[in-house]
Amino acid sequence: MALFITENEVKSLLTMDIALEAVESAARENANEGALNSPRRRLAASGRSLQMMPAAIPAWGVIGYKSYLGGGGGAYFLVFLYSLESGKILAAIEGNKMGQMRTGAASGVATKYMARPEAKRVGIIGSGYQARSQLEAVCAVRPIEIVRVYSRAEEKRRAFADEMGNALSVAIEPAERPQTAVSDADIFIVATNTSEPVLFGEWLPPGTHVNAVGANSIPRRELDDEVALLSGTIVVESLEQAKLEAADLLSPIERGNLSWDRVTELKDVVSGRALGRQDANEITLFKSLGIALWDIAAGYRVYELAKASGIGRELPF
């Protein structure tokens, strides 16, 4: 019998450590041809966009997809998992919380391989839903001591500092300007819904690592061209998807200042085929778009945990 797993059940099962393991393991399977990912597909109709994201991990015996409808009023995410052996559906999982966690985990894995080992200061631009799991993941892979957060609304950045400071037992200071948030950071997190750059290359000191996660479609940008141009190592989850969605990279590429052969996939860094960092002074950039493979990996871990714990509602098929 297939399981239906709710948001609250996902929250009870999926920890950041589990999400980090799922993403890193799936990336390694991808490098070893034990996993497959297809870029996000969008179908627009009546002002809304149906988005579909399929992936498979044959090494785990699972295939599936995430679907959701964009276009205002929030999005409701569902992840469907199928058995590659039997062809039957394994689970339908509500995917909002899971998507937040797997997005944070992807940046956590990138930070593990790309940030300096001694990195302890974080600057964040953005204080919303995704920023929370981004910080949680970074704190899981580096000994973070101080965080500064900036967002346009003072009450939101103060609320973020209070909430996440208590949750992670780390000192978090609200910043009045974005430059203040990132001025002496070792790791920068950019998680916004802006369509104009909010992080500028001139702000980046040597040795910093940037996780840029908010912009996942052509109209949206978070970084100016200089951020990519200054980065010695640039990593994405999927080159195929980045060529469709990563405006932060497409802009300098279209201007002839950057080329795709300078961009590496996360699977190659995780597998050791490529270095995430060349030296301590290098600026590194992880441009995250969110790929289906992370959804299927996290979803399968949730499904395994739910089945083992007797959690979830059985569906009649």
CATH of the domain at 178: 3.40.50.720
Q: Do residues 268 and 303 both lie within one domain?
A: no
Q: Do residues 248 and 300 both lie within one domain?
A: no
CA distances from 139 to 24, 105, 187 (A): 16, 11, 11
Give the model's pLDDT for residue 75.
81
Q: Do residues 134 and 256 both lie within one domain?
A: yes
Q: Do residues 114 and 247 both lie within one domain?
A: yes
Q: Do residues 64 and 178 both lie within one domain?
A: no
The closest of 14, 30, 33 to 269, measured between CA atoms, is 30
Element (H, E) at 150: strand 146-150
Higher-confidence residue: 172 or 214? 172
Query: Which tens digits make up the pLDDT trace of 230-289?
Result: 999 999 999 999 999 898 999 999 999 999 999 999 999 999 999 999 999 999 999 999
pLDDT value at 215 more than 70: no
pLDDT value at 185 more than 90: yes
> How many whole angstroms separate alpha carbon 111 and alpha carbon 116?
8
Could you tell me if 208 and 186 are in contact, meaning their C-beta atoms sit under 8 angstroms apart?
Answer: yes
Q: Do residues 177 and 40 both lie within one domain?
A: no
Query: Which tens digits make up the pLDDT trace of 100-144?
Result: 999 999 999 999 999 999 999 999 999 998 999 999 999 999 999
Query: Which tens digits make up the pLDDT trace of 82-103?
Result: 999 999 999 999 999 999 999 9
Q: Do residues 128 and 86 both lie within one domain?
A: no
Regarding beta strands 283-287 and 231-236, do their DSSP bridges make them parallel or antiparallel, or are they unpaired? parallel
DSSP 214-250: S--STT---B-HHHHHHEEEEEES-HHHHHHH-HHHH
Strand, coil or helix: 288:
coil
Query: CA angle 120-123-124, nearest 5°?
Result: 135
239 burial class (0-12, 13-18, 19+ CB within 10 angstroms)? middle
Q: Do residues 174 and 38 both lie within one domain?
A: no
Angle formed by the axes of helices 154-168 and 129-141, to 10°?
A: 30
Q: Do residues 222 and 125 both lie within one domain?
A: yes
pLDDT value at 310 more than 70: yes
Q: Do residues 125 and 45 both lie within one domain?
A: no
Could you tell me if 120 and 185 are in contact, meaning their C-beta atoms sit under 8 angstroms apart?
Answer: no
Give the model's pLDDT for residue 217.
67
What CATH number is associated with residue 85?
Answer: 3.30.1780.10
Return phi, psi of residue 143, to 5°.
-80, 70
Summarize the confidence of residues 30-40 as an average pLDDT: 95
> Which token pair is 119?
């990195």
For residues 109, 114, 120, 123, the Cα torsion angle rounded to the nearest 10 degrees is: -90
Q: Domain range holding 80?
A: 2-99+293-315
Higher-confidence residue: 70 or 201? 201
Regarding beta strands 89-94 and 78-83, do their DSSP bridges make them parallel or antiparallel, or are they unpaired? antiparallel
61 burial class (0-12, 13-18, 19+ CB within 10 angstroms)? middle
Number of structural domains in the chain:
2
Summarize the confidence of residues 153-176 as an average pLDDT: 95
Q: Do residues 136 and 284 both lie within one domain?
A: yes
Mean pLDDT (the chain, rounded): 94
Strand, coil or helix: 55:
strand
Contacts of 301 (CB under 8 A, 6+ apart): 14, 18, 19, 21, 22
Q: Do residues 142 and 278 both lie within one domain?
A: yes
pLDDT value at 214 more than 90: no
